Amino acid sequence: MLRKIIVLIILLCCCAPRYNLQKSDDFKLKQINKVEQDEKALIFLSLSGGGSRAATMSWRTLEVFKNIPYIYKNENGEKIKSNLADQIDYVSGISGGSFAASAWCLYKDSMNVFRKKFIDVNVQKKLALKPILYPWIGFRMIFSNNYDRIDVAAHYYDKYVFEKKTFKDLPSHPVLWVNSTHLALATRFTYTQEFFDLLNSDLNSYPIGFACAASSAFPILLSPITLKNYGKTLPDSIMKQNTKYRMAKRNSKRNIEKDFYCRMIEFYNDKSNKWMHYADGGLVDNQGLQIIIDNFSTNGIINKALNNSNKPLNRLVIINVNAGTDKEDNSCKKEKAPGVTSVINYTMTTSMNILSAKRWMKIKSLCSEQNKVAINAKKNNDSSSTLIELEKPYCIEINARNLDSKNLKQAFSELPTSFYMNKEQIALIDSVVPILIKENKDVQRLIKTIQ
Amino acid sequence: MEYLIVKIKGKEDEVLPVLIDGEENGFTCDKMQLDEGFVEISVNVDGAETKEIELVNTTDEFPMEVLIDVT
């Protein structure tokens, strides 16, 4: 019997966690199928972190958007009836929001699936009980160096929330961006093939549940997710054949963001960094907004769309579902300084909320700049401008701070940040979101143009 | 943001896809918006020259104009 247990423990400890796979020689980019969409509109949705509160708020927003009609003319001039949710082109998710973002891409035609699999489930209880109910999981956590709490969570999400779906199972539209944080670089890592290219790895075979586990791996509570960095270190001469890298290097002294980009590329290229560790995306951006800002830069998706006179952009919509809460802080009413837990919370969450607010303001300012250029182009009938058809961009923030009702605002601020919401808490979010959408002036302005 | 118009030398009205840092982005004759700094410009056609320019101090009203030679 003892021998059997020892053999079992050795076997369990030898089972490596599921890493990303190396790109094969016949690797091909996933084929993008053309989908019937309003080609003159570009719609981004960012879903913030905040555990089940964020997942529920994000999901409810999508449910409401699904009931907002969106009518447009296709290339042949035919009138197409759709809805606002189905017209979203890019979904960016962080932590709790990454679950809703991924689920939207997989289950958008049967909205109840995600409620049953995630929102209505006490996920944190399930995760806590796993090592007790299934002792071999507990053994593996104790005796294996490469199996930790995060692996329990990742396998749970993979099996029970995303039915073992990998990135190859995602539809071409909308594009999913699950964001995490590279711990050593303190930079955003998005689960896209572009980032997996840095690891010389194939995203297609990677489980979506694992990506969400990384995106929600809140430090201390959960360990990071590790990815393998494959391939050989390339010499500088080969690296500089990449125009994007070479030009970023050229601009790195004047532009610190280009410098960060170069450092990141060089870090990934140094293949002695064989294991890359990723944690909660909220450590650098807890609203999933940075990727949208980056796409305003040269050769970003928004930049290319704004420069394209072949299909002039008519409508730019950026929707920020922010599940952040404004809790009353009493720490300065006491002489005693905050304890370790509070200090961790201040440094990881409170300061990040301020930075995220600034990111949102940056997006609004970038949109406002485009609007000014578009107004000038129309006024001067500027034939060289690509923005002649651009409507005033829509920056929509769905956040409880915008509620008119003080009681609702107070009730929302008391919602916990955890992977469990009780029925009353879910009902509160379900009732608050339609109000936020109805009270949002940019949503109302958008509705007037899409119906 | 900086503003740039790329044209083909000798065929100033010809419309071709522009290459910015090696990627297709916009078309010739259009006023494009790009980040400030050094940028590599070409057009996506055989025989087009590649130029590296410093894009700085432009405005919507006064964009930089760059001519690309195609042989």
Copy the structure tokens of residue A269: 């290229």
The pLDDT value given to residue A321: 98
Q: How far A46 CA sits from the closest chain B CA (Å)?
A: 24
pLDDT at A344: 79
pLDDT digits (tens, 9 = 90+) for B10-65: 999 999 999 999 999 999 999 999 999 999 999 999 999 999 999 999 999 999 99
Give chain A's residues under pLDDT 50. 10-16
The verdict on a CB contact (< 8 Å) between B37 and A306 is no
What per-residue confidence (pLDDT) applies to A206? 97
pLDDT for res A282: 86
Contact B21 A243 (CB under 8 A): yes
> What SS3 class is residue A2?
helix
Angstroms from B15 CA to nearest CA on chain A: 10
Q: Which of A307, A389, A390 to mutate to test the interface with B (most CBs of B within 10 A)?
A: A307
Q: How confident is the model at residue B23, as a pLDDT?
A: 97
Q: Residue A34: exposed, middle, or buried by beta-carbon count in 10 A (0-12, 13-18, 19+)?
A: exposed
Whether the Cβ atoms of residue B27 and residue B18 lie closer than 8 Å to each other: yes
What ipTM does this complex have? 0.98
* CA dist., res. A441 & res. A300, Å (int): 28
Answer yes or no: pTM beyond 0.90. yes
* Residues A443 and A437: beta-carbon distance below 8 Å: yes
Of A388, A404, A399, residue with least CA distance to A46:
A399
* Interchain CB distance below 8 Å, A303 and B25: yes
Radius of gyration of chain A (CA): 23
Q: Is the peptide bond before A171 cis (omega within 30 degrees of 0)?
A: no
Nearest C-alpha neighbor of A158 from the set A226, A92, A210? A210
Whether A275 contacts A268, CB under 8 Å: no
Asked if A38 and A32 touch (Cβ cutoff 8 Å), the reply is no
Cβ neighbours of B37 in A, within 8 Å: 250-251, 254-255, 258
B13/A contact by beta carbon, under 8 A: no
Looking at residue A24, its pLDDT comes to 84
CB contact under 8 A, A303 and B22: no
Percentage of residues of chain A with pLDDT beyond 70: 95
- Number of A–B residue contacts, CB under 8 Å: 68
Q: Chain B residue with minimal CA distance to A369? A: B1
Residue A142 pLDDT: 77
pLDDT on residue A12: 47
Per-residue pLDDT, A345: 77
Q: What angle do CA A356, A176, A77 make, to 5 degrees?
A: 110
Tell me the H-state helices in A69-179: 96-107, 112-114, 123-133, 135-143, 149-156
B38 touching A (Cβ < 8 Å): yes
Q: How far apart are CA A162 and CA A45, in angstroms?
A: 21
Residue A235 DSSP one-character state: P
Chain A environment of B59 (Cβ under 8 Å): none
Extract long-range pairs of A35-39: CB within 8 Å, 24+ residues apart. Answer: A35/A171, A35/A172, A35/A173, A36/A74, A36/A80, A37/A87, A37/A89, A37/A173, A38/A70, A38/A72, A38/A80, A38/A82, A38/A87, A38/A315, A39/A74, A39/A75, A39/A311
